[in-house]
Amino acid sequence: MKYFKVVPLCIIAMLFFVTSCKHKSITNPDEETYDPRNISRTETQSVGPVIALSPDGTVYVIWMDGGESENEPFHIYFKYKSPHNEGWSESEIISDTATNSWEPGVVVDPFGNLHVVWREEDPDVEHAKIYYRMRSSSGEWSDIEVISCEVALQPRIAVDSSGTVHVVWNESRMRYRNRTPDGTWSAIEEGPIYIENPSIAVDSNGGVHLVTEQGAGDDIVYLYRSPTGEWSEPVNVSKSPDWYSWVPSVTVGVDGTVWVNWVEVGQRAMYYAFKRKDGDWTLPDSVPDIPGYPGVNKVLYDKFGNLHYIWEEIRDGACDIYHKVFSRDGDWGDEENLSGTPGYSLCPDFAIGSGGIYVVWSEREEEEGDYNREIYFEVVPLP
């Protein structure tokens, strides 16, 4: 197993990127002026952000923050911004342990409740367990629950239109369970394959769509769980035996189209395939005009049927966050550089709402010869 497959991909990327950039300036001896996109502003390392949007327009951001040492373990941080232009809340730590907490995932259900999962080191097991916590629409946090059993990592979370929360993680093999709106957790199911770097999405019927790296050839494999609980046979959607395929993402359109995206490392290109409404998969094809080296990528459909790409890409010694649209008419739009910094902008996530496209990423900043990682947030108008 490759090392970077068992730790957060975003953390590995940031540990190895050495180019830095500067976004702070001093306006007077007692005050620092931050880049206005910086929403974390901690003295420790802020990485791995994820974002969710409430039905009322509230934006929630979760990330990992710590000092990369035993004395300063990583915790799960939380903050939010209401739709009434009241600014960001104060940061809040929502994990509760003396050990590291990693790999958060977040969703908001149709009732405005926030659901968070993460991986947390546990002295009782070899690696970690998967933890869960909910914040009600009125702002109260539930107690922390452990939802896995043994050596667990890479949790992924999604929610359907009924408010049922679906969670997948890696525990020797794939594991799955769901939580109904009344708070009842299903039994843990063992999936049909071993998963690495998975991504999940749910459709309007409550079906779960999962993609993952899998197999000796590092293919991108797709599985489907029906609303009645049956898992499909795995489908190889990358079909690239001579290339190394990684960091897949998946989304489902309102018409039921399933779109899968991934990076072909040997080609330094992003590829995609999609499942039509008749159930047939297209052959893999490359996203046009990717001149650099793409990495972590996410895809989402908007309510009009347009597909939005957000991804990180290294070009000319810098890594930036880019946005591109594949329209419902089948046309590729021009790319847009969202970060525009000379250093490294990494690990994007995004959500789409009536106010636009809400994007977060981790930015590496330089401070007096050293560097710091902060969480950046940007709103992009819908095309």
Cα–Cα distance between 325 and 335 in angstroms, integer? 8
Total domains present in the chain:
1
The token pair at 220 is 């991108």
pLDDT digits (tens, 9 = 90+) for 211-254: 999 865 589 999 999 999 999 999 999 987 677 899 999 999 99
pLDDT digits (tens, 9 = 90+) for 128-141: 899 999 999 999 99
Neighbours of 93 (CB within 10 A): 11
- Give the 3-state secondary structure of residue 368: coil
Q: H or E segment at 33? A: strand 31-33
pLDDT at 12 exceeding the cut of 50: no
E strand map for 71-127:
75-81, 92-93, 101-108, 114-121
The answer to whether 267 touches 286, Cβ cutoff 8 Å, is: yes
The alpha carbons of the chain give a radius of gyration, in whole angstroms, of 20
Once rounded to an integer, what is the mean pLDDT over residues 31-46?
A: 85
Residue of 202, 235, 201 lying closest to 220 (CA atoms): 235
The token pair at 99 is 């050990």
The answer to whether 159 touches 109, Cβ cutoff 8 Å, is: yes
The parent domain of residue 77 ranges over 3-380
Q: What is the per-residue pLDDT for 369?
A: 56
Q: CATH number for the domain including 101?
A: 2.120.10.10
The per-residue DSSP string of 266-330 comes to GGTEEEEEEE-TTSPBPPPEEPS---SEEEEEEEEE-TTS-EEEEEEEEETTEEEEEEEEE-TTS
Q: H or E segment at 9? A: helix 9-16
Once rounded to an integer, what is the mean pLDDT over residues 148-177?
A: 94
- Give the 3-state secondary structure of residue 191: coil
Q: Give residue 370's pLDDT band: very low, low, confident or very high (50, 70, 90).
A: low
List the beta bridge partners of residue 379: 358
pLDDT at 208 exceeding the cut of 70: yes
Cα–Cα distance between 141 and 115 in angstroms, integer? 10
Which residue bears the tokens 């991108």? 220
258-264/245-252 β-pairing: antiparallel
258-264/285-286 β-pairing: unpaired
The token pair at 342 is 């000379």
pLDDT digits (tens, 9 = 90+) for 224-236: 999 999 999 999 9
Q: Give residue 25's pLDDT band: very low, low, confident or very high (50, 70, 90).
A: very low
Amino acid at position 290, single letter:
I
Give the distance between the most distant pair of CA atoms in the chain: 65
Cα–Cα distance between 206 and 229 in angstroms, integer? 10
List the beta bridge partners of residue 325: 308
The token pair at 150 is 């043994």
Cα–Cα distance between 249 and 201 in angstroms, integer? 9
pLDDT digits (tens, 9 = 90+) for 57-97: 999 999 999 975 556 889 999 999 998 878 999 999 999 87
- Give the 3-state secondary structure of residue 190: strand
Residue of 347, 341, 365, 344 lying closest to 33 (CA atoms): 365
Residue of 154, 198, 191 lying closest to 175 (CA atoms): 191
List the beta bridge partners of residue 273: 260
List the beta bridge partners of residue 33: 25
Q: What is the per-residue pLDDT for 85?
A: 73
pTM value? 0.91
